[in-house]
Chain A
Amino acid sequence: MSDIDMPDFASTSLVSALADMAPMRRADGVWRSAWRRFRRDGVGMVSLAIVAAYALLIACTGSGLVARHWQDEVGVPDARPSFVGPAAAPPPGVALPAAAAASAEVDISDVDPLAPRYAEWDARAAQYHAQVRPIAATLPFGGDRLGRDVLSKALKGTQISVSVGVLAAIVATLIGAALGALAGFFGGHVGDLVEWAYNVLTAVPEILLFFAFAAVFGRGISTLVLIMGLTGWTGQYRQVRAEFIKHARREYVLAAEAIGAGAGARMFRHILPNVSHVILARMSLLVVNFIKAEVILSYLGLGVATNQVSWGTMLAESQSELILGHWWQLAAATIAMALFVTAFSLMADAWRDALDPRLRGLR
């Protein structure tokens, strides 16, 4: 690196090379250095790509670019997937009743009082053009009982399920982290109060709480988010509280108090960034749990409205279909969910490792 005067086109690579060589380079921010560590994690990067693909998909379905017509009847009822092939023709022994009626046709135009008007009606009918949509015998990934495309349903269901899970996790994390920070930092009477609320809430079985909230709020996505947010914050609360109890007596927080930092600054500016990896890890678990909880609630009939689709409603429908051997709806919902949940968990794990200050410089 002796020749510093290099042409412009090479200067960026030179700068980065110099920055890499120089032992005293300017330190990056917390997030930037976390991203640098994250990038080295192969599994993390793959799962990030998958999660990003899901996010793109959700944006597309949300804006109506994809799967807007998921409710249309595009195939025969319980249409089989294209790669399996159409259902076998019914056995020849069974005759249709219409065919039987045609053979016994008798001319009654002499006595028919409406006979003179047939021609007029035919002429009027010709003015209208009836369009019969072709009903496909097979669909890309099969159809459901009403002939709706399972693939479109799965895409639309992804949007609902993932957004419910993520929104509910955000609500639960906000509640849990705020209460945990208060209780852990102040302790004493504030801590006791929050702890009582926590104990009372956790004493009630969760499913009972779900029913109670659902009865009050009615059905819908926002209800689901509220229900799960209001019942699911307890684990996050306990963990954040424990971290805050530990950090509040650490010397760097005491030092911040000594220079005059107020309680709010100490809680949120000093301690919070140091426990962010814990909050993030717990939040990712919540997303996964809430997606599963939505499935269960929709299965129980407490979930999304009847004119909406989610992975949960798909699974609920597939229960009766499975008896008839129609496995594709179950498979579509399961694959979409398993892929997302796995990728999301792995990604969150990689983020946690990248953000943890203690793991810095190891590896």
Chain B
Amino acid sequence: MRGATRSILDCGDFDETSFGEPFAGRAPGRPKKARSPLGGRSAVPGAGGAPLTALLKVENLQVAFRLHDADGRAHRVEAVGRGEQGISFEVPANTTVAIVGESGSGKSVTAMALVQLLPRNAECSGRVLWRGDDLLQAPRAHMQRLRGHEIACVFQDPMSSLNPVLTIGEQIAEPLRKHLFMSRTAARRRAEELLAEVGIPEPQRRLDTYAHQLSGGQQQRVMIAMALACEPQLLIADEPTTALDATIQRQILELLARLQAQRGLAMLFISHDLAVVGEVAQQIVVMRQGTVRERGSARELFAAPKDAYTRALLACRPRLDERPRRLTVIDDVLAETEVATPVLGVDVDVDLNPRRADDDDPVVLQVDGLSKSFWLRSGLLGRIEFRAVQDVRFTLRRGHTLGVVGESGSGKTTMGLTLLRLHDAASGPLAGRVLFHGHDLLALAPADRLAMRRRIQIVFQNPYESLNPRFTIGQTLVEPMTIHNIGVDGTARERRARDWLVRVGLDADAMHKYPHEFSGGQRQRIAIARSLTLSPDVLVLDEAVAALDVSVQAQVLNLLKDLQDELGLAYIFISHDLAVVRFMADDVMVMKDGRVVEHRRTETLLAHPQEEYTRRLIGAVAQGPATSVRDAAEATAPRP
């Protein structure tokens, strides 16, 4: 109880001293303080009644990259800070501070600058004070001692952060032996304790496994265990849950919040999703285009956002409790603020009577008893059948959207690919019926399959992967029309491709560019345009917005809605995020282990979930401080 009280006091002080002053007001020409000797350690802040100084203090930090353009000319790109103005914020001891922003806002660059892990072409200026020492001036050897020992990092993709040829135990033991000079057996014992602490079952046995034998969530737990191995005072978590499912994300957030409370850690949490951040952070820094737009305590920021951009970020995330006609996008809110007088509590274009999908619409797709198995090799010549999808049945009408939700491994993507026959025939048996305008797609001869391909299309999850890097956008869009002989000649096809580009909200200039010149959201628009050039009846959207920033996600979801209204498309919307499905889908099918466990109207399902699994999926949707995992963690965890 005492701990909780002090935590609140900390926040109060923090607000008054640091967040009260105008953050942009630091004069750039201010004389620098003499560098404190690097060996000198200041007292741990907040401990034993010492004055409350910040553990980490960033003052007017600016980062720029020296780059060469295509013709070899050097130029500077500002990643953090604009002009004279850098960014400033503080991380007090025993507090979680979050940096929120879209991709390109400079949030990850900021984090990397703190621990000096930027590539060599980066130029930093300003000051990063770690307990009084300026890290930007610190020698390399000092930084190496600091990283992993006092400041630890957890990154987005646990699979690529773990070394595939070393066991988990060896990897956790490495920092222990290097920084704390533990013996082999002591390090192993400590590694086991750490695994237990981050909630991995049977830690003794897990020590000898390799990264690929663990699930994504477990891998991230191992990464956290490694980061905590040397008892750091600051944990930098750079999008630690972005690559994970909603339910796993929730578990990791709970774990981080619990560990932070238990150990009195300071944590710098970086994310693009304000709702996720609201659940773990006490302080939030909102960044956009390299500058700080707003900062303050999480509660205040959610209750009364001062900056228009913060309001826009809050508004653009789909919510579980309402289904607007369209989602708010950043530009709407910003434009509105600049033109009209700023209003608190934004209320933008929320149509409380969403379009009702009509039950009399014609059926385009009827799936009955769809099953798909894969052969897994077992032993020398044997094989076993793995049932990825079992007995899926649904009916899809014109202009309707079927949401398919489930954790990863639930078979939802396999189901989508099976509808398009995108699996090798040799990969495993296929059963059931897929009636598409009266033809059974699964029984079609290979020659007839091409005509079917045209009418049922797919958009994949990762826009960075799904476009051929060697094709111009024009080639990408014209290719499907050439294959299916749509349009009389090349120029007609090109004209059609241009039309589609404009319809999905891109410039017709884009025809001659390559995918790498576009952002993730733009690429996803191109991928959508490619599917639509064939005028399909059914579009399978396989986690089509999962890899996008929340703000871009809103734009793409709006585009999909508009296209559906305009063209009468039927969508099969596969996602792990129920909030997004809630916005898009008329019916929802919940999948678990290849089977459908629940299939009902979206509103009914959300209001009265029948299955425990569905309730868990709904509970995993991040909704800001309202569902904060921190409060629960603080209430249960005793302070050390």
Quick one: which of A26, A252, A361 contacts B512, CB cutoff 8 A? A26
| Complex: A258 Cα to B484 Cα, angstroms | 12
Contacts of B462 in A (CB 8 A): 251
Q: Is the CB of B484 within 8 A of A252?
A: no
Identify which of B458, B472, B514, B516 contacts A255 (C-beta below 8 A): B458
> Knowing A20-B71, A24-B509, A361-B516 touch, does A260 contact B470 (C-beta < 8 A)?
no
Q: Which of A20, A254, A265, A274 has the most CB of B within 10 A?
A: A254
Is A246 an interface position by the 8 A CB rule?
Answer: no
Find chain B residues with CB under 8 A from A273 CB. 470
CB pair B468 A27 closer than 8 Å:
no
A255 to B68, CA, bound (A): 33
Smallest CB gap from B470: residue in A? A273
| Cβ A260 vs Cβ B422 within 8 A | no
A250 and B465 contact, CB distance less than 8 A: yes
A239 to chain B, nearest CB (A): 18
Which of B150-158, B348-356, B449-457, B601-609 lies at the interface with chain A? B449-457
Question: How many residues of chain B have a CB within 8 Å of chain A?
Answer: 40
User: From A37, which residue of chain B is reached at the shortest CB distance?
Assistant: B70
> Which A15-41 residues have C-beta < 8 A from chain B?
20, 24, 26-27, 30, 33, 36-37, 40
- Contact in complex: A259, B516 (CB < 8 Å): no
A360 at the B interface (CB under 8 A)? yes
Q: Any chain B CB within 8 A of the CB of A257?
A: yes
B16 adjacent to chain A (CB < 8 Å): no
B 457-493 to A, binary, CB cutoff 8 A, 1 in contact else 0: 1101110011111111000000110011000000000
Instruction: Say whether A14 faces chain B, with CB atoms less than 8 Å apart.
Output: no
The residues of B that contact A68 with a CB separation of less than 8 Å are: none
Q: With the chains together, A40 CA to B530 CA distance in Å?
A: 35
The CA-CA distance from A273 to B424 in the complex, in Å, is: 24
Complex alpha-carbon distance, A252 and B458, angstroms: 12
Q: CA A232 – CA B424 in complex, angstroms?
A: 32
Minimal beta-carbon separation of A363 from chain B (angstroms): 5
Q: How far is the CA of A325 from the CA of B483 in the complex (A)?
A: 70
Task: Decide: A357 and B460 in contact? CB cutoff 8 A.
Answer: no
- Most chain B CB within 10 A, of A257, A260, A273, A274, is at A260
Q: Does A113 contact B (CB under 8 A)?
A: no
The 8 A CB mask of B516-535 against A (1 = contact, 0 = none) is: 11000000000100110010
Asked whether any CB of chain B lies closer than 8 Å to the CB of A145, the reply is no
- Say yes or no for A188: interface residue by CB 8 A criterion: yes
Indicate if the CB atoms of B465 and A259 lie closer than 8 Å: no
Q: CB-nearest residue of chain B relative to A255?
A: B466
Which residues of chain A in 220-262 are interfacial with respect to chain B, using CB atoms and an 8 Å cutoff? Answer: 250-252, 254-261
Does chain B have a CB within 8 A of A270?
yes
Q: How far is the CA of A96 from the CA of B461 in the complex (A)?
A: 94
Task: Report whether A259 and B479 are in contact in the complex, using a CB–CB cutoff of 8 Å.
Answer: yes
Q: Which residue of B lies closest to A19 (CB)?
A: B71
Q: Contacts A258-B458, A259-B453: A363 and B68 contacting too (C-beta < 8 A)?
A: yes
Residues of A within 8 A of B534 (CB): 259
Q: Report the bound CA distance from A270 to B462 in whole Å.
A: 18
Chain A, Cβ-Cβ closest to B515: A252
Residue in chain B with minimal CB distance to A39 = B72
A360 to B470, CA, bound (A): 11
The answer to whether residues A261 and B70 also contact, given A250-B465, A252-B465, A270-B468 and a CB cut-off of 8 A, is no
Contact of A36 among B71, B424, B453, B509 (CB under 8 A): B71
Complex: how many Å from CA A357 to CA B517?
A: 12
With A255-B460, A259-B483 already in contact, the answer to whether A188 and B465 are too (CB < 8 A) is no
Report which of B422, B507, B530 forms a contact with A254, defined as CB distance below 8 A: B422
* Most B-side CB within 10 Å, residue of A250, A259, A265, A273: A259
CA distance A357 to B465 in the complex (A): 13
Given the known interface contacts A256-B468, A357-B470, the answer about A27 and B512 at a Cβ–Cβ threshold of 8 Å is: yes
B453 touches A260 (CB 8 A): yes
A47-86 contacts to B (CB < 8 Å): none
A27 pairs with B517, CB closer than 8 A:
yes
B480 touches A260 (CB 8 A): yes
C-alpha gap A204/B457 in the complex (Å): 49
Known contacts A251-B462, A258-B422, A260-B483, A357 near B469 by CB under 8 Å: yes
Closest to A265 in B: B483
The residues of B that contact A37 with a CB separation of less than 8 Å are 70
B171 CB to nearest chain A CB (Å):
26
B466 engages A33 (CB within 8 Å): no
CA A37 – CA B453 in complex, angstroms?
39
Chain A residue at smallest Cβ distance from B527:
A255
Known contacts being A188-B426, A256-B468, is A33 close to B454, with CB within 8 Å? no
CB pair B514–A27 under 8 Å, yes or no, is: yes
Distance A251 CA – B422 CA, assembled complex (angstroms): 11
The 3 closest A-B pairs by CB, nearest first: A259-B480, A251-B465, A273-B470
B residues with CB within 8 A of A: 68, 70-72, 417, 420, 422, 424, 426, 450, 453-454, 457-458, 460-462, 465-472, 479-480, 483-484, 507, 509, 512-514, 516-517, 527, 530-531, 534
What would 18 more interface pairs be, CB under 8 Å, given A254-B460, A258-B420, A260-B453?
Answer: A20-B71, A27-B472, A27-B517, A251-B461, A251-B462, A251-B465, A252-B467, A254-B417, A255-B460, A255-B466, A255-B467, A255-B527, A259-B457, A260-B454, A261-B483, A265-B483, A274-B469, A357-B469
A-B contact list, 21 entries, CB within 8 Å: A20-B71, A24-B507, A24-B509, A26-B512, A27-B514, A188-B426, A251-B460, A251-B461, A251-B462, A251-B466, A252-B468, A255-B466, A255-B530, A258-B422, A258-B453, A260-B480, A260-B484, A273-B470, A274-B468, A274-B470, A357-B516
